[in-house]
Amino acid sequence: MQRESQKVGIEIERKFLVRGNPPLSGEGARILQNYLVRSERKTVRVRTKGGKGYLAIKGPSSGAARLEFEYEIPYEDATSLLAHLCDTPPIEKTRYEIEYEGLTWEVDVFAGANTGLVLAEVELESESQKVSLPGWVGQEVTGDERYFNAYLVAHPYQKWGNKSS
């Protein structure tokens, strides 16, 4: 079965640095996440968000697309996996959703070892979909592995020497 214009299990998203002040409202959703597996071919992520737990299996990126399968799991299982099976401190961030010209932008404000990093992501129906960029969106970093959460967990933003691309 396929979603309209998108294959099931395929994530298509573009990622950007945030400049200026995006219109963040509300408290946002606090996210803790870490990885059970991190390799070039696949990642297995554990996440807590909004009192729920999630397990995601992702393949390698090819442009803005990659295989992704995400499942809700019991919150207690997710917190136990984060505490006992993940080696490094988790990624800490607050996610805000901003509607702009028919698309939902997810703005992640990182905390902990990644404080100072703010990224915006937008999911698309296809890689060729046209996207109008809000004024607070800066440089695109879609293919830059340094901005993948799986990289940030092992190489925190606070330890980067030169933080610009």
Give tens-digit pLDDT for 56-76.
Answer: 999 888 878 889 999 999 999
Count of domains forming the chain:
1
Active site residue 35: yes
How many other β-carbons are positioned within 10 Å of the β-carbon of residue 125? 12
**Domain span at residue 77?**
2-159
**Is residue 74, in this structure, part of any structural domain at all?**
yes
CATH number of the domain bearing residue 63: 2.40.320.10
Q: Is residue 112 part of a domain?
A: yes
Would 155 be classed as within a structural domain? yes
Interval 18-30 mean pLDDT: 92
User: Is 67 among the domain residues?
Assistant: yes
Cβ distance 132 to 14 under 8 Å? no
Q: How confident is the model at residue 39 (pLDDT cuts 50, 70, 90)?
A: confident
How far apart are the C-alpha atoms of 16 and 165, rounded to whole Å?
12
What is the Rg, in whole angstroms, of the alpha carbon atoms belonging to the chain? Answer: 16
The yes-or-no verdict on residue 113 having pLDDT over 50 is yes
Q: Does 164 fall in a domain?
A: no
Q: Let me know if residue 153 belongs to a domain.
A: yes
- Whether residue 83 lies inside any domain: the answer is yes
Q: Is residue 165 part of a domain?
A: no
CB-facing half-sphere around the CA of 90: CA atoms within 13 A = 23
Element counts in the chain: helices (H) and strands (E): 2, 11
**What's the whole-model pTM score?**
0.88
When pLDDT is cut at 50, 70 and 90, the band that residue 8 belongs to is: low
- Catalytic residue selected from 35, 96, 100, 147: 35
Bridge partners for 65 per DSSP: 12, 62
